[in-house]
Homo-oligomer: A and B are copies of this chain.
Amino acid sequence: MARIVGGLTTSHIPAIGNAIARKMFEDPYWKPFFDGYPPVREWLDEVKPDVAVVIYNDHGLNFFLDKQPTFAIGAAPEYRNDDEGWGIPTIAPFKGDPAFSWHLIDNLVHDDFDLVTCQEMLVDHGFTVPMQLFWPNYADIGIKTVPLVINTVQHPLPSPRRCYNLGKSLGKAIESYPEDLKVVILGTGGLSHQLDGQRAGFINKTFDRMCMEKIVDDPEHFLDMSIRDLVVEAGAQGAEFILWLAMRGALTGKVTARHSNYHIPISNTASGLLCLENAA
Contacts and interface: CB of A to CB of B under 8 A. Distances in A.
Interface of A: 63, 65-72, 105-106, 109-110, 112-121, 154, 156-159, 162
A114 B71 contact: yes
A68 B116 contact: yes
A118 B65 CA distance: 6
Contacts of A118: 66-68
B117 A115 contact: no
Given A116-B116, A156-B106, A67 B70 contact: no
Nearest to A75: B65
B156 A116 contact: no
Contacts of A121: 66
Nearest to A70: B114
Given A109-B156, A110-B156, A156-B110, A116 B162 contact: no
Contacts of A70: 109, 114-116
Contacts of A69: 67, 69, 114, 116
A65 B156 contact: no
12 contacts: A65-B117, A65-B120, A66-B119, A68-B116, A68-B118, A69-B69, A70-B115, A106-B156, A109-B156, A109-B157, A112-B158, A112-B162
A38 B114 CA distance: 37
A68 B117 contact: yes
A93 to B, nearest CB: 16
Contacts of A63: 67
Nearest to A69: B116
A113 B114 contact: yes
Nearest to A155: B106
Contacts of A115: 70, 114
Contacts of A65: 117, 119-120
Given A69-B67, A105-B156, A114 B114 contact: yes
Nearest to A71: B114
Given A112-B162, A114-B114, A120 B156 contact: no
A191 B238 CA distance: 47
Given A114-B71, A156-B105, A156-B106, A66 B120 contact: yes
